A and B are shown apart, each in its own frame.
Chain A
Amino acid sequence: MNEVRSQAVAEAPAASKLLIADGDIHPAKAGAADFHPWLEKRWRDHMDEYGSPGRQGWQAGPAYPKSQPNASRRDAYPPEGGRPGSSLAFMQSQHLDANGVGLGILNPLGSGQGVQNPALSAALCHATNEWQLAEWTSKDSRLKASVVVPYEDAVASAAEIRRYADNPAFVQVLMLSRTAEPLGSRKYWPIYEAAAEVGMPVGVHAFGYGGNPVTPGGWPSYYIEEMTGHAQCQQAGLTSLIVEGVFEKWPALKMVMIEAGFAWAPSLAWRLDKHWKTLRSETPELSMAPSEYMRRQVWWTTQPMEEPEPRAHLEDCIGWMGWDRLIFATDYPHWDFDDPTQALPIRVSEEQRRAFFMGNARGVYRGCAG
């Protein structure tokens, strides 16, 4: 099969096409030993003895089944073996080269974020960051790293962010959406303070281990509800960030909402604005309407893009949000991958296309303006 795709590339060499950005690539470790060079023996022994359970009801593995094994495309297993996403060479040939990715943002999952033991969580997050440098960004300059932070310990997280303040391989801070408290809680403010200080956006990826269900109405039964629930979860997080005053306090802070769709943004903004007008005096620290913070400080990665019928509705949503708000993302190598040649099913201008596929990403991620 991969021969077929490479033939397609041979017809139109990647170099002659418009290079794209990908705001959501998931590198995977081949096994726990990949982190060992940066993990003290104390923690290796600890994991052998006690494991590294996350803060969730189901202690082994994800809370919901996946659509495909390892939540991955069935054609993404490296020929040399190992998990999808664990081979740089295969990622290069199947994705980066084939799809003309000029800027790829690494968002490692299974990294230690959400591990219940706070010191172990911090140690694993740091190992993940060093591993990104050693195994990925130093070997392919198209790839940029995220500072993975143990978000439930905001002080440790802020220290981790500042540790990479001067390292150009790191272009964003990575959190997950299902935190123990709503994202805008003061508990997490040291993270936002440090991110604003070093000039990195904070990316909030779907999933997480705060112990709360993905919906505000309890634990649903099915994977499809979790997939849909990411949008609800991120709306709750974004509402909290706005209303708690995070964007008011750090006007230069940028947030990137990752892998939860985006077509919900207009309706959330309309509802927030409506209530803000009547309840303005409850949160007088907000100097402008909630939608204005969204337009000033929030971006969305596109995958998995909504596919409304007729497709023109998608255009309406983006029209309200602004064509400067979206960062194209594939979620490679995961099963719900969006193909850059297929994912934007509406007619757009050249200017909009360039912003959607590259320009917006260059403006958001630290040091990527190029």
Chain B
Amino acid sequence: MSRHVVATSQEIPEGGRKLVMVRGRPIAIFNLKGAFFGLLNRCPHQGGPMCEGLVTGLREAPMPGEYVYSRAGEILRCPWHGWEFDIKTGQSYCDPERIRTRSYPVEVTAGTKLVEGPYVAETIPVSVEEEYLVVEM
């Protein structure tokens, strides 16, 4: 396991996303109300590029005719077949027991700490004035 600097926190605004590569793996990073989450950019179903999916909410119906909408902005639908995933955990909604997409913790770290190491700054030049997103892999 090592820690990888993948972006500045300013690069991904609230509700935004960015595709980064960490040790050759494509990771989609999402900003949910200031908290950052990383998902492997390959849907566990057929490999669709998750970073290009629709971010939406959760539609549920406790019984026919009754609808509940919740978790706006926290659910990701694969851009191919529309499978739904919880951005925070990678858990799927079509088969939550068995199917989840790999999630990676993303940490916001001040540049002052990063220059001390031990971090791998892949392609991101680090300066002490900024905050950075760090993925552990």
The residues of A with any CB-CB pair to B shorter than 8 Å are: 1, 4-5, 67-68, 73-75, 335-339, 341-343
Q: Which residues of B contact A5 (CB under 8 A)?
A: 49
Q: Which residues of B contact A75 (CB under 8 A)?
A: 48-49, 52, 79-80
Q: 1/0 per position for B18-53, CB-CB distance to A under 8 A?
A: 010100001000000000000001000111110111
User: Would you call A73 and B47 a contact (CB within 8 A)?
Assistant: no
User: Would you call B80 and A335 a contact (CB within 8 A)?
Assistant: yes
Contact partner of B47 (CB less than 8 A), chosen from A68, A335, A342, is: A342
User: Would you call B54 and A74 a contact (CB within 8 A)?
Assistant: yes
Most buried by B among A74, A75, A335, A339: A74
The residues of B with any CB-CB pair to A shorter than 8 Å are: 19, 21, 26, 41, 45-49, 51-54, 79-82
User: Would you call A67 and B82 a contact (CB within 8 A)?
Assistant: yes
Having A68-B82, A335-B79, one finds 16 other A-B pairs with CB under 8 Å, namely: A1-B52, A4-B19, A4-B26, A4-B41, A5-B49, A67-B81, A74-B52, A74-B79, A75-B48, A75-B49, A335-B81, A336-B80, A338-B46, A339-B46, A342-B47, A343-B46
Asked whether A1 and B41 contact (CB < 8 A) given A75-B52, A341-B47, A342-B46, the answer is yes
Main secondary structure of the interface of B (DSSP, over half): loop
Asked whether A337 and B80 contact (CB < 8 A) given A1-B19, A4-B26, A4-B41, the answer is yes
Complex Cα gap A336–B51 (Å): 17
Complex Cα gap A74–B49 (Å): 9
User: Would you call B82 and A339 a contact (CB within 8 A)?
Assistant: no
Asked whether A74 and B53 contact (CB < 8 A) given A4-B19, A4-B26, A4-B41, the answer is yes
Q: Which residues of A contact B47 (CB under 8 A)?
A: 339, 341-342
User: Would you call B80 and A73 a contact (CB within 8 A)?
Assistant: yes
User: Smallest distance from the beta carbon of B115 to chain A beta carbons, Å?
Assistant: 29
Complex Cα gap A74–B53 (Å): 7
Q: Which residues of B contact A341 (CB under 8 A)?
A: 47
Return the chain B residue nearest A345 by Cβ.
B46
User: Would you call A4 and B49 a contact (CB within 8 A)?
Assistant: yes
Q: Which residues of B contact A73 (CB under 8 A)?
A: 48, 79-80
User: Smallest distance from the beta carbon of A219 to chain B beta carbons, Å?
Assistant: 19
User: Smallest distance from the beta carbon of B28 to chain A beta carbons, Å?
Assistant: 9
- Closest CB pairs A-B (n = 7): A74-B79, A342-B46, A1-B49, A75-B52, A339-B46, A4-B26, A67-B82
A-B CB contact pairs (8 Å), 25 listed: A1-B26, A1-B41, A1-B51, A1-B52, A4-B21, A4-B26, A67-B82, A68-B79, A68-B82, A73-B80, A74-B54, A75-B49, A75-B52, A75-B79, A335-B79, A335-B80, A336-B80, A336-B81, A337-B46, A337-B80, A337-B81, A338-B46, A339-B46, A339-B48, A341-B47
Q: Which residues of A contact B26 (CB under 8 A)?
A: 1, 4
Q: Which residues of A contact B80 (CB under 8 A)?
A: 73-75, 335-337
Q: Which residues of B contact A342 (CB under 8 A)?
A: 45-47
Return the chain A residue nearest B41 by Cβ.
A4
Q: Which residues of B contact A1 (CB under 8 A)?
A: 19, 26, 41, 49, 51-52
Return the chain B residue nearest A337 by Cβ.
B80
Complex Cα gap A122–B54 (Å): 39
User: Smallest distance from the beta carbon of B22 to chain A beta carbons, Å?
Assistant: 12
Complex Cα gap A4–B21 (Å): 9
User: Smallest distance from the beta carbon of B132 to chain A beta carbons, Å?
Assistant: 22
Q: Which residues of B contact A343 (CB under 8 A)?
A: 46
Complex Cα gap A216–B26 (Å): 46
Complex Cα gap A67–B48 (Å): 15
Q: Which residues of B contact A337 (CB under 8 A)?
A: 46, 80-81
Complex Cα gap A337–B47 (Å): 11
User: Smallest distance from the beta carbon of A90 to chain B beta carbons, Å?
Assistant: 14
User: Smallest distance from the beta carbon of B12 to chain A beta carbons, Å?
Assistant: 15
User: Smallest distance from the beta carbon of A78 to chain B beta carbons, Å?
Assistant: 14
Complex Cα gap A345–B89 (Å): 26
